Amino acid sequence: MDINSTFVQKALSLPRPRIAAAIALVVVLALPLTPVPGFWITLGNYIGLYALVALGLVLLTGIGGLTSFGQAAFVGLGAYATAYMTTTQHASPWVGLLVGLCVSGGAAALIGAVTVRLSGHFLPLATIAWALSLYYLFSNLEFLGKFDGISGIPPLKIGNIELISPRAIYGVIWVVVAVCIVLTLNLLNSRPGRAIRALAKGYTMPEAMGIHTANYKLLIFVIAALMASLSGWLYAHLQRSVSATPFGLNMGIEYLFMAVVGGIGYVWGAVIGAAVLTIVKSQLQHILPSLLGSDGNYEMLVFGVLLTLLLHRARSGLWPWIATQWARVRPPEPTVTAPSVAPVGYATLQQVDLPPRGSSLLEVRKVVKRFGGLVAVNGVEFKVNAGEIVGLIGPNGAGKSTMFNLVSGVLPASDGEVHFKGQRIDQLGARQIVSLGMGRTFQHVHLIATLSVLENVAIGAHIRGSAGPVAAALGMDRSEEQRLLYLAAQQARRVGLGEHLNILAGSLALGQQRLLEIARALCTAPALLLLDEPAAGLRLQEKNALAALLRQLREEGMSVLIVEHDMDFVMGLTDRLVVMEFGKKIVEGTPGEIQSNETVLAAYLGGVE
Amino acid sequence: MLVLIIVSVAVHFAALSLGLLIFGPEGSRTEAFTDAVVSFAGLNISGQSLVVVGVSLALITLLHLFFERTLKGKALRATAVNRTGARLVGIGSHQAGQLSFALSAGIGALAGVLIGPLNTMQYDTGFVVALKGFVAAIIGGLASYPLAALGAVLVGLLESYSSFWHSAYKEVIVFTLILPVLAWRSMRSPHTDEE
């Protein structure tokens, strides 16, 4: 994680640009009132339309990690819906908007249900497939005018004013863009926003934090489709006629270009990318014929070459590059901060009911896990009671992490049962298990490197909150958000990261990153904490601090199941030890008993034949 | 990974317009390799089709031998599985990438040469053909040559039958029916998080 990205991330989300953004909006909206030639106003209209679609792509592809080449098809759905409703059905354009949003939303829900479950290369290919499918559908349906399309679409009407000229509709387009940007920024800076950011990290970590990845993927898919549909509606009433050509795969690819050039992971990148690409393309059409002669079509060639060069130099896009330069002038301040005193209602959030000390909490009954022919875990049986620390040790390859994954629901067991708080959990998913009260960390740290420590820890608070995407986008979740952030800050202080709350998680040392994971797991209010090698990478004092923390947790009634290789750490901390070798439990007992046990010594050091 | 896809699309656009510059917008057809027609079980199979099938089979065999039996082929596969590990044992990942690109571009060019007599080719015909080829490769799981060949046959059959039944909706049917295949393929390959 280089220092440049540190600057970039902090620059991108500060309160000060709110003023700059407001000024920029005023300038943009005032443009048609100045004597700027109509060409630029029309260009501005199209930049706004494209920016809307690119915004959806930033959310879907840049932040959520789902590459989509097919947004143009949803633009088409919105455009054709309003075209059909306003011409054939003689409805008002606002009805056309409603119908378009419903059709696009419904189509996105259906298509998304299949598409978002695909992994790897299959996802972009699926988007290409249905984009082409929808395009050919538009071109061939009788009631949509086939390849001729629909013309004679009435203009938008606000009150009695008909918005016919490009200057008139310009204001509507850019106000819509501004509103969508604000809504998206609000959404990203909230509980659902953190869940969406976690999606790009894969499946295991978000699910282990209680985030329903499939639902959130579908959510961003539908949101992107709705924004594209909105763009299509505006396009239809700007252009006053629609045909299938602008809704094909070529345009879909271009939308993705715009988002990537602007900076796919950043909301402002959508606007910048749309503006840069549109202006460059229009200027190329002007300049190239006079430069290279008008007997050839050089625009695409120069365009492709320019794009390749740009991506070579500014791989993350233009907006991060701009923000880095700006950060040199004005170092950024952190944006997401926790309140310094406990907000209202925190007491109820903080209350965690732990089971009575000594009662049976976790029971692993003869659990078996087979990977094809390999038996990783072979009939292991042990118990963890409430309020004790149990260590799971063994040589490398003994199956300890697999055991963790079986207990926490990441892997299903091939045989045997796991009971937690009296309930059978071995066939449950990680999400259900974490809400029962089991938190965990991972052997390889799973953090979002571009978010701050506080925000990463707050991901663990996901199941403690309930704000949905609509409430978040409208900014109505602030009080709950304050409580969640305060909770996250408290847990971070507990593990000793209180001084580092606003530092990027990616710039922490590995040992501190492990502490962050523990803080994140603590946010889930666990009765049982599963720690996978928490002391790896910690120095002696940090290990002592961690041991003190774990003892403190035990005092409060929490149980800890810990996998560790550091024998000093484990022997001084745990109440009982379970030793595994080659997938089987070989011994169980107190640290003292284990240290002198012959079988254990043979397993670790080798026996004498 | 996304940036790589975008860059390749940018290069595609550049190459496409170069093609337009060099070849012009009109389409053309080349002469067949052979005018012979073979009669088999009541079907008339043109010599060109036989050449196409024959070359495909030969390519599958050659590629299989290359990747299974030669050191360079195994080095390429190693780079695909774990790039850092391959570099640690002395396999140049940059060269591996160049080799695979060169190989696939060469095979693509060969395919174009073979299709020339069968279809009218314009400067942009290659895109749709390659897209359907990509679909076929995905059906083969991007891992197996025979399966990819079978996938291509499947796509071709789908296209031919739908152009017979509902010619206007031929593309719609082909690209919509890909989705369940993709879903099935995606469920078959285990969902592993990228480390």
Question: Based on the domain organization, do B101 and B30 belong to the same domain?
Answer: yes
DSSP conformation class of B30 = P
Question: Based on the domain organization, do A315 and A410 belong to the same domain?
Answer: no
CB contact under 8 A, B189 and A125: no
Is B181 within a domain? yes
CB contact under 8 A, B21 and A301: yes
CB contact under 8 A, A133 and B171: yes
pLDDT (average), residues B138-164: 82
Cα distances (angstroms) measured from residue A146 to each of A80, A135, A150, A243, A607: 11, 11, 9, 8, 80
Question: Based on the domain organization, do B82 and B147 belong to the same domain?
Answer: no
Question: Based on the domain organization, do A426 and A559 belong to the same domain?
Answer: yes
Is B5 within a domain? no
Residue-number span of the structural domain to which A390 is assigned: 380-437+526-609
Structurally, how many domains does chain A consist of? 2
Find chain A residues with C-beta within 8 A of B194's C-beta: 202
pLDDT over threshold 90, residue A195: yes
Domain termination site, one of B119, B135, B155: B119
Find chain B residues with C-beta within 8 A of A115's C-beta: 179
Question: Based on the domain organization, do A73 and A151 belong to the same domain?
Answer: yes
Instruction: Name the most confidently modeled range: A2-11, B42-51, B174-183.
Output: B42-51
Question: Based on the domain organization, do A313 and A422 belong to the same domain?
Answer: no
Rounded-to-integer distance, Cα A565 and Cα A571, Å:
11
Which pLDDT score is estimated for A476?
86
Q: Which three-class secondary structure state does DSSP give residue A306?
A: helix
Cα distances (angstroms) measured from residue A178 to each of A25, A28, A42: 8, 10, 18
CATH number, position A176: 1.10.3470
Q: In Å, how far is A605's CA from the nearest CA of chain B?
A: 29
CB contact under 8 A, B18 and A301: yes
Helix (H) or strand (E) holding A278: helix A267-292
Q: In Å, how far is A223's CA from the nearest CA of chain B?
A: 21
**pLDDT per residue over A134-160, tens digit each?**
998 888 888 888 878 888 888 888 877
Which pLDDT score is estimated for B26?
85
Domain termination site, one of B62, B94, B119: B119
**pLDDT per residue over A224-256, tens digit each?**
999 999 999 999 999 999 988 899 888 998 899
At residue B1 the predicted structure's pLDDT band, cuts being 50, 70 and 90, is: low
CATH number, position A386: 3.40.50.300
- Percentage, residues of chain A above pLDDT 90: 48
Question: Based on the domain organization, do B37 and B113 belong to the same domain?
Answer: yes
For testing the chain B interface, which of A257, A297, A308 should be mutated: the one with the most B CBs within 10 Å? A308
pTM: 0.88
Is A540 within a domain? yes
Is B63 within a domain? yes
Tally C-beta pairs within 8 A across A and B. 120
Q: In Å, how far is A567's CA from the nearest CA of chain B?
A: 28
Cα distances (angstroms) measured from residue A563 to each of A48, A392, A440, B64: 54, 5, 11, 44
Question: Based on the domain organization, do A135 and A25 belong to the same domain?
Answer: yes
Q: In Å, how far is A84's CA from the nearest CA of chain B?
A: 21
Domain termination site, one of A261, A296, A329: A329
pLDDT (average), residues A168-180: 92
At residue B193 the predicted structure's pLDDT band, cuts being 50, 70 and 90, is: very low
Q: What is the mean pLDDT of chain B?
A: 83
Structurally, how many domains does chain B consist of? 2
CB contact under 8 A, A140 and B194: no
Q: Which residues contact B25 (CB under 8 A, 6 or more apart)?
A: B122, B123
Q: In Å, how far is A309's CA from the nearest CA of chain B?
A: 9
Is A530 within a domain? yes
The ipTM estimated for the assembled molecules is 0.79
CB contact under 8 A, A117 and B183: yes
CB contact under 8 A, A130 and B176: yes
For testing the chain A interface, which of B179, B187, B194 should be mutated: the one with the most A CBs within 10 Å? B179
Structural tokens at position A54: 């690119």
Q: In Å, how far is B186's CA from the nearest CA of chain A?
A: 6
Residue-number span of the structural domain to which B181 is assigned: 124-189
pLDDT over threshold 80, residue B185: no
Contact B190, B175 (CB under 8 A): no
Under an 8 Å CB criterion, which residues of A touch B? 61, 67, 114-115, 117-122, 124-126, 128-130, 132-133, 136-137, 140, 201-205, 253, 256-257, 260, 264, 296-301, 303-305, 307-308, 311, 315, 444
Rounded-to-integer distance, Cα A23 and Cα A21, Å:
5
Is B74 within a domain? yes
Domain termination site, one of B119, B151, B173: B119
Would you call A125 exposed, middle or buried from its count of C-beta atoms within 10 A (0-12, 13-18, 19+)?
A: buried
